Chains A and B, each alone.
Chain A
Amino acid sequence: MIERRLAEVEGQRRAVRAKRSRAVGQRTIAGEMERFGLIGAWIIVVIVLGAVVPDAFLSWLNFSTIFSSQAVLVVLTLGLLITLTAGDFDLSVASTLTLSAMTLTVLNAQHGWGVIPSVAVALGCGVLIGAINGAIVLFFRIHSLIVTLGVGTFINGIILWISDSQTIAGVSFDLVSWVIVNRFPPGGGISLTFYYAVFLCLAIWYCFEYTTIGRRLLFVGRGREVARLSGIRVDRVRLGSFVVGSTIAAGAGVLYAGMTGSADPTSGLSLLLPAFAAAFLGATSIVPGRFNPWGSFIGVYFLVTGITGLTMLGVNTLVQNLFYGGGLVVAVTLSQLVRKRQPQSIS
């Protein structure tokens, strides 16, 4: 019943979109420009930087390095996307990442646990945090922004406690190998961590586009009351989004520990704003107006490509910040211009 109703609504929306496209041919071009604008901007950045520093920038080593190094941010952003799509904010994702990395490291490096049980407990932390966030938000009817801010700060205290405020090294080399040392193709390829991020992107994209649960999530994010009246168990979907989002963030923590071979109590927290930036930047492309995994994926790599090139040119770190922040604002602004400044309704 619900599925049929969802299919009907989606069908109506597609029909309206198609009608509009037929009516105004230029809108189709504009729409395509909007969808692929970020990819175009990415290509332009590559061409410009490739022309300025051709030997270094256009080398395979450079691109394999770029792809290998940003998987943690991609996975964290994907975790964030789940709750954002359901219409909630999760400000505790970076804390979840850090707690996961620290838990894994403490268990593995200090208590001699194996990699698999340590990873399982680390992911379990994500499940627990998501359940706590969701339960408080839904039971007490408090805005997710407030709850996740508080829970995130609480987690930060736990991280300091379990780590004794220290950075801990000595994560098993097995994990490090399965994150960044092993490559595909073997030898000079890209680290496996990149492919984990790609598979997760594929999975979330498939879920959003072709599964009932993905459609329900989208509908809940678009309008809770409408979704409720359509028979969707909104609270259950939102609770699930918190749990899945936090678990993915904990997975990002596992990759983080594998990437650095260590865990420290604070550094992972600085990934929160870049993850939000990537999520919002991603919402301007591929499926404009909607948080989507491929848009975010491209957003992350667009930004890091620019920053890598600027670093090669020897520019000051402050210019990197200008590019990062400016890139986000310009992309969103251009997207709005293409949409003829329609009011934003991202979910």
Chain B
Amino acid sequence: MKFGKQLAALISVAAFAVALGTAGGAKADAMADAEALIKSHQTLPDFKAPGPAFDAKACMKDKKILEIPLTMANPFNAEIAKAMAAAAAEVGFEFKNWDNQLKVDQWVQGMAAAIAGGYNLIDLQGGIPPAALGPQIDEARGKGLKVTTTHLYDVTQDIPPNLDGSARMNYTRAGQLMAAWAFTKTGGKPNVVIIGSDEIVPTAPFVKSIQDTLKGYCPDCKQQHVNVPVTEWATKIQTSVQSALVADPSINFILPIYDSMSQFIVPALRITNRLGEVKIATYNGTPFVLDMVRTGEVDMDVGESLGWIGYAGIDVNMRILCDIKPAVTTLNTPLYIFDKSNIKTAGEPATFHDGYGDSHLKGFRKLWGLK
């Protein structure tokens, strides 16, 4: 009898130790790693020079840049374009934004205008896939123009050989943050639905980053990936999320990789009576989604300062034109986590710029020898 009690106690202690050690399939140090990663992106962003300082005013004298945004109908692209124009004005070189409405023929016209106008560099900003402009890029480069992209590729993606450079974004880190958030907020037991749009260039590494990070934290945790093309967000995201929630009631986090998807996820949570119970963590820092963080409909949004992206994009392009070595291929724009604890800093209603501070302005001016 005594032996039986001892055996039972031993088994209980062993079971408790196993439970503590695995925390629902999670590694013991995974929680600490995830929390540390999150914490490192909750402090106000500080400027870190992407490369050596240079005299921008001198080397950009007589040089011109034409930038083609994905579409000026998207405030994301429009705000980056504005910031790029402001940075160019500070340095004092000619900069032109090619206004368009997401039409390939307008992009082609922009490329032709850059060649005819004697520009030195064409920057495809915020989503234009270079594959859509292959012949035009070849023609421009054949005539001595440089062609680059800003905020298109992930840091893990190679820059295509028909480009002279690229200011890549750290989508991989954004994915790690989203995975870490879901992991920590569920006590190490995330069951997530990742929603992406595979036709967007950086989606694949972004989604892979979330998947790999979650697998690293807890190999047994459940995750599923749903692909919804951008043109079908309004008709497919809601039904996809609803179906997933009905099929698996243990889902506790939805991870839309672009935060504008959230507006179609919230109704799905309401209809299935899971709003508040199932959380949303996402990326982009779009103002209306930050407003949804304030109201509690979205749990977390990884934001990025569009003003900073604009200045960083100009920095990369100037380095290419001025042949500054080593080449910079990544935007130094930090990722900053917004949740209920700091959402007030994003403004009410939220804006694209509030909450990030303005250390980038001082930093870039000093880097470029302006002040």
Contacts and interface: CB of A to CB of B under 8 A. Distances in A.
- The answer to whether A binds B is yes
Interface stretch (A122-130, A221-229, A309-317): A309-317
A318 to B, nearest CB: 9
B75 A166 contact: yes
A230 interface: no
A346 interface: no
B270 interface: yes
Interface in A191-243: 191
Interface residues of B, number: 44
Contact of A260 (B73, B226, B232, B263): B263
B243 A308 contact: yes
Contacts of B86: none
B287 interface: yes
Greatest chain B CB density within 10 A among A169, A259, A268, A274 is at: A169
B246 interface: yes
B247 A56 contact: yes
A165 B73 contact: yes
Greatest chain A CB density within 10 A among B260, B264, B270 is at: B270
Contact of A262 (B239, B271, B272, B288): B288
Contact of A274 (B75, B235, B295): B235
B240 A311 contact: yes
B231 A167 contact: no
Given A311-B240, A311-B243, A312-B243, A261 B272 contact: no
A1 to B, nearest CB: 47
Interface in B260-306: 260, 263-264, 266-268, 270-273, 286-289, 291-292, 295, 297
A345 B247 CA distance: 42
A320 B236 contact: yes
Contact of B271 (A164, A168, A191): A191
A267 interface: yes
A12 interface: no
Interface in A36-56: 53, 56
A316 B235 CA distance: 15
A173 to B, nearest CB: 9
A271 B239 contact: no
Nearest to A73: B235
Contact of B297 (A160, A261, A304, A314): A261
Contacts of A170: 288, 291, 295, 349
Interface in B186-232: 224, 226-229, 231-232
Contact of A160 (B73, B233, B243, B247): B73
B81 to A, nearest CB: 12
Contact of B238 (A64, A69, A166, A176): A69
A268 B233 CA distance: 10
Contacts of B271: 64-65, 68-69, 180, 191
Of the four ranges (under 10, 10 to 19, 20 to 34, 35 or more), the interface on chain A belongs to 35 or more
A169 B263 contact: yes
B234 A267 contact: yes
A289 B263 CA distance: 38
A311 B74 contact: no
A311 B229 contact: no
Contacts of B224: 314
A168 B232 contact: no
Given A160-B73, A180-B271, A317-B229, A65 B242 contact: yes
Interface string A52-83: 01001101011011101100000000000000
A245 interface: no
A199 B229 CA distance: 33
Interface in A250-269: 259-262, 264-268
A56 B235 CA distance: 21
Contacts of A270: 231-235
A264 B263 contact: yes
A265 B263 CA distance: 13
Nearest to A68: B271
Interface of B: 72-75, 78, 224, 226-229, 231-236, 238-240, 242-244, 246-248, 260, 263-264, 266-268, 270-273, 286-289, 291-292, 295, 297, 349
7 contacts: A167-B288, A169-B288, A261-B267, A271-B234, A308-B246, A312-B246, A312-B247
CB-CB nearest 4 A-B residue pairs? A267-B234, A311-B243, A56-B247, A169-B288
